[in-house]
């Protein structure tokens, strides 16, 4: 049983449910500095958390029906734990509850309130933030023995099984374990990780290209299938196991180009993790964008133009698309004292060319 209603304005938990929540938890979105499309190839990634969070408040429901209210959407969905809701946003929450039940956690019917500052649909992992925040709240409510890595793993399975996105684990690990002052160098095969400080004097800027994208409906799953086929033809478990571009010569196109991106991107991540010079780090970001554009074919003209404008700015060390591509956002490493200036000048130039971009990170005052 699932029902859905829409409201005209955002409401708080007490207004929706007639009383306070028992627990509240939150999780951040993330931006990926380097390591795009390497996570599902057992490779290396370098994400960092952003300041915007998703918050989930919950309490036990008085009957066997879960009621989920999404403040940003102004929508309410009711469902039972035995039947998945049809609404896409609710599938992320239901998937987390279902995966928790699969591990033996006694998940009760719940009243759930979701609010979020994480921009949606631009590659900043709003879905992972929702999943991790939901599982954190459930952990606090039930006392379930879930550590932060286990939460990330359950969240990943929820997105694959219930939202239809065959994702790697980077987004969920970043939302569960990263902070805003260090990048997280993550080996997605072993989950070995360490925090990496940003190069001195640098800071992260994220701009939206104005081109919407949806992961499940994009070429994301196709790219993953191409990588898996390339690995099969090369006789390895994953493209992570290939060290040199020369090893790819036997592959037909476009598999060779897809694999070349993964091999070179892994090398860029490992080099960046030990890089204290912002200019050298920026060179790696620029090379990553060229590879995503030419070898992986996940950029679009608007993204390319926004990246060009960022790369040409004197206070920008390097820039690239971030997220799965096919629209969404660009990330730049900038002089930490010039973030607002860079954002204003680049977005103004982007607008003069007929495009509509916006500042995402750092969030604008009052956003």
Residues designated catalytic: 171
The Cβ of residue 79 has, within 10 Å, a number of other Cβ atoms equal to 24
Task: Compute φ and ψ for 153, nearest 5 degrees.
Answer: -65, -40
How far is CA 200 from each of CA 74, 276, 335, 358, rounded to the nearest angstrom? 42, 7, 9, 26
First to last CA, the chain: 37
Residues in the chain: 367
Cα-based distances in Å from 5 to 19, 69, 77, 162: 20, 9, 6, 21
Calpha distance 146→140 (Å, rounded): 10
Which residues have C-beta within 8 Å of that of residue 311, sequence separation ≥ 6? 286, 318, 319
For 45, counting Cβ atoms within 10 Å of its Cβ (0-12 exposed, 13-18 middle, 19+ buried), the class is buried
How far is the C-alpha of 175 from the C-alpha of 173, rounded, in Å? Answer: 6
Question: If you compute the radius of gyration of the chain from its CA atoms, what whole number of angstroms results?
Answer: 21
Helices marked H in the chain — which ranges?
A: 13-17, 88-102, 126-142, 148-163, 170-177, 220-234, 255-273, 278-294, 301-312, 339-352
Rounded to a whole number, what is the largest CA-CA distance in the chain? 64
DSSP label at 94?
H
């Amino acid at each position: 049983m699932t029902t859905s209603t829409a409201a005209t304005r955002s409401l708080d938990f007490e207004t929706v449910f007639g009383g306070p929540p028992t627990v509240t938890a939150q999780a951040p979105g993330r931006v990926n500095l380097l390591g795009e499309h390497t996570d599902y190839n057992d490779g290396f990634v370098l994400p960092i958390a952003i300041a915007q969070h998703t918050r989930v408040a919950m309490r036990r429901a008085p009957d066997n029906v879960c009621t989920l209210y999404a403040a940003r959407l102004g929508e309410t969905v009711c469902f039972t734990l035995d039947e998945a809701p049809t609404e896409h946003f609710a599938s992320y929450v239901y998937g987390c509850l279902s995966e928790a039940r699969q591990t033996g956690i006694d998940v009760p019917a719940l009243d759930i309130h979701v609010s979020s500052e994480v921009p949606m649909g631009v590659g900043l992992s709003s879905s992972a933030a929702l999943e991790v925040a939901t599982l954190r709240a459930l952990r606090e409510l039930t006392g379930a023995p879930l550590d932060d890595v286990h939460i990330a793993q359950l969240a990943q399975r929820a997105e694959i099984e219930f939202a239809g996105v065959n994702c790697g684990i980077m987004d969920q690990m970043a939302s569960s374990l990263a902070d805003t002052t260090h990048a997280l160098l993550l080996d997605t095969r072993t989950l070995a990780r360490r925090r990496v400080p940003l190069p001195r004097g640098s800071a992260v800027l994220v701009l939206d290209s104005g081109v919407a994208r949806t992961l499940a409906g994009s070429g994301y799953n196709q790219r993953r299938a191409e990588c898996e086929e390339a690995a099969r033809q090369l006789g390895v478990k994953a493209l992570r196991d290939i060290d040199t571009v020369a090893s790819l010569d036997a592959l037909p196109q476009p598999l060779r180009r897809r694999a070349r991106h993964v091999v070179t991107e892994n090398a860029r991540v490992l080099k960046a993790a030990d890089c204290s010079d912002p200019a050298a780090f920026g060179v790696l970001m620029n090379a990553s964008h060229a590879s995503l554009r030419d070898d992986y074919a996940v950029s679009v003209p608007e993204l390319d133009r926004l990246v060009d404008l960022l790369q040409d700015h004197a206070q920008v060390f390097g820039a690239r698309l971030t997220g799965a591509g096919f629209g969404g956002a660009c990330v730049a490493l900038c002089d930490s004292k010039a973030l607002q200036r860079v954002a204003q000048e680049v977005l103004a130039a982007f607008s003069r060319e007929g495009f509509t971009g916006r500042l995402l990170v750092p969030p604008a005052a009052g956003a």
